[in-house]
Amino acid sequence: MTAPARLADIAAQAGVSEATVSRVLNGKPGVAATTRQSVLAALDVLGYERPVRLRRSSAGLVGLITPELENPIFPALAQVIGQALTRQGYTPVLATQTPGGSTEDELTGMLVDRGVAGIIFVSGLHADTSADTGRYERLTARGVPYVLVDGYAPGVRAPFISPDDRAAMRLAVTHLAALGHTRIGLAVGPKRFVPVLRKIEGFARALKDQLGLDPRVVEEELVQHSLFTLEGGQAAASALLERGCTALVCASDMMALGAVRAVRQRGLEVPDDVSVVGFDDSPLIAFTDPPLTTVRKPVPAMGQAAVRTLLEEIGGTPAPHSEFVFMPELVVRGSTASGPSSRA
Amino acid sequence: MTAPARLADIAAQAGVSEATVSRVLNGKPGVAATTRQSVLAALDVLGYERPVRLRRSSAGLVGLITPELENPIFPALAQVIGQALTRQGYTPVLATQTPGGSTEDELTGMLVDRGVAGIIFVSGLHADTSADTGRYERLTARGVPYVLVDGYAPGVRAPFISPDDRAAMRLAVTHLAALGHTRIGLAVGPKRFVPVLRKIEGFARALKDQLGLDPRVVEEELVQHSLFTLEGGQAAASALLERGCTALVCASDMMALGAVRAVRQRGLEVPDDVSVVGFDDSPLIAFTDPPLTTVRKPVPAMGQAAVRTLLEEIGGTPAPHSEFVFMPELVVRGSTASGPSSRA
């Protein structure tokens, strides 16, 4: 229960003794079903949440499929989603893909076999433009409700929950341009992913608006694709530094940490010589060397929205099957500083 | 499957057509049960892993209860345990406690109601010497197998999986004493927790062996209790710095990051003025400022052992109900340096 329910209030509302209320709340036997129902009804009327145990009949398992738990953004999202589900009486089943092990399809099959009430996919194949969306249509055909987080596949009729990747890039570019940087690079993952395409679009448009650069030139010279890992960020950053960038925007904090490493390998300093901006944010990012300036993904809002829309789907009152886009925010720490032009 | 199974090989081994093998592997109907069995047997004989879907009949849900997912050590353990369970055809249910929300007992009740095959408790009430162990006896009485990670409660008849907390402190103290530190403090969580008591014991014994200090004096002057958080580490470190410590051993990396903050608040530097050693280690800890020297908890080995012993319990061939203790290792990075006596 969120607030300590006062036994006396509940007993008065239900017209039973406090001892009976106590027996019901603690799941003790020896209470008639009708009495039990009136106690639970009193709880509802008074606005108290039912104890988890007493909600189970109405709820079920809900699957949560994530790529991994090593990037701290995934456990952060899993924590928010798991807690929101538990509060509603659902049991979260966390299924994590493994390199060379279980794929998204295998995990989905396992969850469906378990009779899950619904599935939340985080950064799944719905974010991969090269993947077949038939798997989601088949899930719909089997009557399994689902919500897709951090990706978008036109044609799939389900709720989508995403951060505003384009706005994220605008926040980063505006900050760096204000610091006087004119040569800004973007280190991103493979081109087939929706969040990557959106970040490139937002990045190119922001550079056009702020510095008058031609979007085609930006895509050719200032965007570097790589893997979504620290080593991938390091490789992409090295290529961008070769091309004279004094500021690097990275598609994840892990990539940004790799970018910091690439800067240092060339005998340069962050942020004195090169500024670095990450994306995601999680508790430890404030303690990195240097503390990363980053665009914070709105994880609590996204996680709660994913659960809320899934429960609407499960309840048969689905929200419109569109995309719900959440605004990120720029967190300025110690990895960004004045660029060469403002210093000169 | 780990390797792409060659249909032709399986078909030859099972004495059926490749089309039949394909139907079985993809879970299609229209295959006789005996034929299906021979295809699965062929997979086993040839050393291929069965697709997850075809393993489900033998497995069930397994609950994993953790205090939270914000300290990165818990998602790291959850990932190892989840993957090991999935490989064995079990479905991991991750249940996370919430401040002011679901308690360990509520989550246990929910999991038992779901008919879990077993439960793995991580840093649960079994680690709290002030908690009633009756809850575990009742679980045993209900026939639910379980394994207890990172804690120990004498009298509870279940397998325990722990890091060697005493050895961890010896590793840290030996490293700091070798660097010339003679005034070494320990920042730990509340005294009622088993891992805390063990760390104090190991810490005091190591200081006696290496520097000839009286264990009672050590406990009074050089051990500071606080909360298991960054702010807790900061508070404990401040108190220890007041008492002249030049090196701080912390019971978690989060506490160690708080200790670094406390050192800097006094206008001092880590490691030039004060050395700091953490405990746990996780991927981002190598990137903190400064990179933390820490005692690495053997997470992969502990997670796999937790799953293995739980499966033995579930299978009715329990391992001896004792404690399995795993050796940590010291990872030296940039938060430790020579102490005043070796410099003088």
Q: pLDDT tens digits, residue range B248-274?
A: 999 999 999 999 999 999 999 999 999
Provide the pLDDT for residue A83: 86
Q: What is the pTM of this model?
A: 0.79
Give the range among A100-114, A193-207, B24-38, B307-321 with minimum mean pLDDT: B24-38
Q: How far is residue A49 from each of residues A3, A89, B183, measured CA to CA in Å?
A: 8, 10, 52
Residue B33: Cβ-neighbour burial (10 angstroms; 0-12, 13-18, 19+): exposed
Q: Say if the Cβ atoms of B288 and A283 lie within 8 Å.
A: no
CA–CA dist B156, A218 (Å, integer) = 64
Mutate to test the interface with B, among A86, A102, A105, A253 (most CBs of B within 10 A): A86
| Helix and strand element counts for chain A (H, E) | 13, 12
Joined together, the tokens standing for residue A212 give 């008058």
Residue identified by tokens 């924590």 is: A79
Residues of B in contact with A82 (CB under 8 A): 69, 94-96
Q: Say if the Cβ atoms of B289 and A284 lie within 8 Å.
A: no
Joined together, the tokens standing for residue A178 give 């204000």
CA–CA dist A240, A257 (Å, integer) = 15
| pLDDT average per 10 residues of sequence, chain A (344 residues) | 64 85 78 72 68 57 88 90 86 77 84 88 95 93 95 93 98 98 97 97 98 96 95 98 98 97 97 98 92 97 96 87 95 95 62
Residues of A in contact with B98 (CB under 8 A): 83, 86
Structure-model confidence comparison of residues B131 and A7, the more confident one: B131
Residues of A in contact with B288 (CB under 8 A): 284, 287-289
Q: Say if the Cβ atoms of B257 and A291 lie within 8 Å.
A: no
CA distance A323 to chain B (A): 28
Provide the pLDDT for residue B1: 38
- Say yes or no to pLDDT of B58 above 70: no
Joined together, the tokens standing for residue A32 give 């008639």
CA–CA dist B280, B167 (Å, integer) = 13
Q: Among A72, A79, A257, whose Cβ lies nearest the Cβ of B68?
A: A79
Residues of A in contact with B76 (CB under 8 A): 69-70
User: Sheet containing B247-250: which strands, arranged edge to edge?
Assistant: B223-225, B184-188, B247-250, B275-280, B293-296, B329-331
Closest CA to A91 of A125, A64, A68: A64
Q: Say if the Cβ atoms of B86 and A95 lie within 8 Å.
A: yes
Residues of A in contact with B61 (CB under 8 A): 93, 114
Residues of B in contact with A2 (CB under 8 A): 100
Q: Give the type of residue at B87.
A: R
Provide the pLDDT for residue B344: 52
- Say yes or no to pLDDT of B317 above 80: yes
Mutate to test the interface with B, among A88, A287, A289 (most CBs of B within 10 A): A287
Residues of B in contact with A99 (CB under 8 A): none
Give the range among A295-309, B28-42, B231-245, B329-343 with minimum mean pLDDT: B28-42
Average pLDDT, chain B: 89
Q: Say if the Cβ atoms of B95 and A86 lie within 8 Å.
A: yes
Nearest residue in chain B measured CA to CA from A53? B110
Joined together, the tokens standing for residue A287 give 């303690």
Q: Say if the Cβ atoms of A95 and B91 lie within 8 Å.
A: yes
- Count residue pairs from A and B with Cβ separation < 8 A: 139
Q: pLDDT tens digits, residue range B139-164?
A: 999 999 999 999 999 989 999 999 99
Q: Say if the Cβ atoms of A110 and B96 lie within 8 Å.
A: no
Mutate to test the interface with A, among B57, B71, B284, B333 (most CBs of A within 10 A): B284
Mutate to test the interface with A, among B26, B50, B56, B86 (most CBs of A within 10 A): B86
Q: Say if the Cβ atoms of B110 and A92 lie within 8 Å.
A: no
- Work out the pLDDT band at B192, boundaries 50, 70, 90: very high
Nearest residue in chain B measured CA to CA from A56? B110
Nearest residue in chain B measured CA to CA from A289? B289
Largest Cα separation within chain B, whole Å, is: 83
Cα radius of gyration (chain A): 24
Residues of A in contact with B289 (CB under 8 A): 287-291
CA–CA dist B260, B277 (Å, integer) = 10
Q: Give the type of residue at A320.
A: P
Provide the pLDDT for residue B211: 96
Q: Say if the Cβ atoms of A70 and B284 lie within 8 Å.
A: no
| Domains of chain B: residue spans and CATH | 7-54 (1.10.260.40), 60-163+298-327 (3.40.50.2300), 165-297+330-342 (3.40.50.2300)
CA distance B276 to chain A (A): 15
